[in-house]
Amino acid sequence: MNLDEVIKNSIIQNQAPIGFDEFMQLALYYPKLGYYRSGSEKFGEKGDFITAPETSDLFGFCLARQCAQVLKKTDDILEFGAGSGILAAQILFELGRLDCLPQHYYILELSAELQHRQKQTIAKALPELLDRVVWLNELPTGFNGVVIANEVLDAMPAKRIIQKNNKFYELGVGIEKDTLTWQVKKEVIQEGAVKLPPLMSDGHTTEINKQALAWVDSLYDALENALILLIDYGMHRGEYFHPQRTDGTLRCYYQHKASDDPFINIGEQDISTSVNFSDISDQAKLSGFKVSGYATQALFLISLGVDEYLLNEADENKRISLAQQIKQLVLPSAMGESFKVLALSKNRHVKLIGFKEQDLSHKL
Ligand SMILES: C[S@@+](CC[C@H](N)C(=O)[O-])C[C@H]1O[C@@H](n2cnc3c(N)ncnc32)[C@H](O)[C@@H]1O
């Protein structure tokens, strides 16, 4: 059975449209066939999209500087959804240079194929540190240290909602003439940290992500004394529900081309929605976390001295290349402003150097 048939079967068995979150779960994570569970190349030039660590080592080096500020001698790092493993290699390399290596670098990765790729990347880049890297299949207990998730929240299945007759309804996925189509389901009621958008005109469509909030909540119990760094494209509620954003934030990527159609290239294209950082921060506070900072990726990296790597590079060709990479990471037209960093802490309340130049927590 191919993935298209799996999804149609699940709608038929449900005898009603399935939620978009259920569709996204199948399209991205169905064993062996889902986008993140199959063997295809995803990250980098040969894949479908480029993430910040794939763009430049300086991204991981700066994150390492932030880790170094708070890591204690017996601490660990835990990275979620580690992609090709390149971010882990960058962070471990720089923490080695700073003489601040964690006891363990845990990776919680859902895909066995990606676990294998991560092992290869780290073994090639840092064979001497491979024994510190441990792959987990579930949340640890009593974790102490730093938790990192780069572009993980945006890959968590979200619900789509649509305004009709001054109410919000869930927009599900059904079948019409053997083709997957959007279909309106039941009314959505506000609950927990999820706030519904203000009423705009009928047809206004957006997303809510309960799964991401449940994930934040489950993290609280797994951690004892920790800092969490969540990096993702997203915005605070006011921007997320801006009246001009009438069609939400759903984006699909196939071979570096963006589209808003999740029903094509199923299993071969990435599907994501932007992160509503206000919902995440509200949930985090409800769970017991403290918000320790919120900034654009640009100002976070600048606070951590991304430009120093350029200034300290003696080789002119390498300097030119680093300058290009920094532009990609910090320019507003590239990743600088659409990506944000949210820091949450449990029992580790430190004034973080990453938010020295900017802390937009008040906007959340
Ligand atoms: C866009 S990729 C980002 C990869 C990598 N962090 C990077 O920056 O290159 C999203 C990753 O998040 C992972 N992911 C999604 N939900 C997750 C969860 N609940 N726990 C761990 N990983 C998850 C996916 O499997 C996928 O590998």
pLDDT for 124-143, tens place per residue?
A: 999 999 999 999 999 999 99
Assigned architecture for domain 1-357: 3-Layer(aba) Sandwich (3.40)
The whole-number pLDDT of residue 212 equals 97
The whole-number pLDDT of residue 48 equals 76
* CA 259–ligand 1 middle distance (angstroms): 20
pTM: 0.96
3-state secondary structure the chain: CCHHHHHHHHHHHHCCCEEHHHHHHHHHHCCCCCHHHCCCCCECCCCCECCHHHHCHHHHHHHHHHHHHHCCCCCEEEEECCCCCHHHHHHHHHHHHCCCCCCCEEEECCCHHHHHHHHHHHHHHCHHHHHHEEEECCCCCCEEEEEEEECCHHHCCCEEEEEECCEEEEEEEEEECCEEEEEEEEECCCECCECCCCCCCCCCEEEECHHHHHHHHHHHHHEEEEEEEEEEEEECHHHHCCCCCCECCCEEEECCEEECCCCCCCCCCEEECCEEHHHHHHHHHHHCCEEEEEEEHHHHHHHCCHHHHHHCCCCHHHHHHHHHHHHHHHCCCCCCCCEEEEEEEECCCCCCHHHCCCCCHHHC
Q: Which of 25, 86, 110, 328 for mutating ligand 1's site (highest number of atoms within 8 Å of CB)?
A: 110
pLDDT digits (tens, 9 = 90+) for 243-276: 899 999 999 999 888 999 999 999 999 999 999 9
Which residue has its alpha carbon closest to ligand 1 atom 9? Answer: 83
The whole-number pLDDT of residue 111 equals 86
User: Which regions in the chain score pLDDT beneath 70?
Assistant: 40
The whole-number pLDDT of residue 110 equals 84
The whole-number pLDDT of residue 50 equals 85
The whole-number pLDDT of residue 252 equals 96
Atom of ligand 1 nearest to the CA of 29: 25
Domains of the chain: which residue ranges?
1-357
Which residue has its alpha carbon closest to ligand 1 atom 13? Answer: 81
Atom of ligand 1 nearest to the CA of 111: 25
Q: Is ligand 1 within 6 A of the CB of residue 34?
A: no
* CA 108–ligand 1 middle distance (angstroms): 9
The whole-number pLDDT of residue 291 equals 98
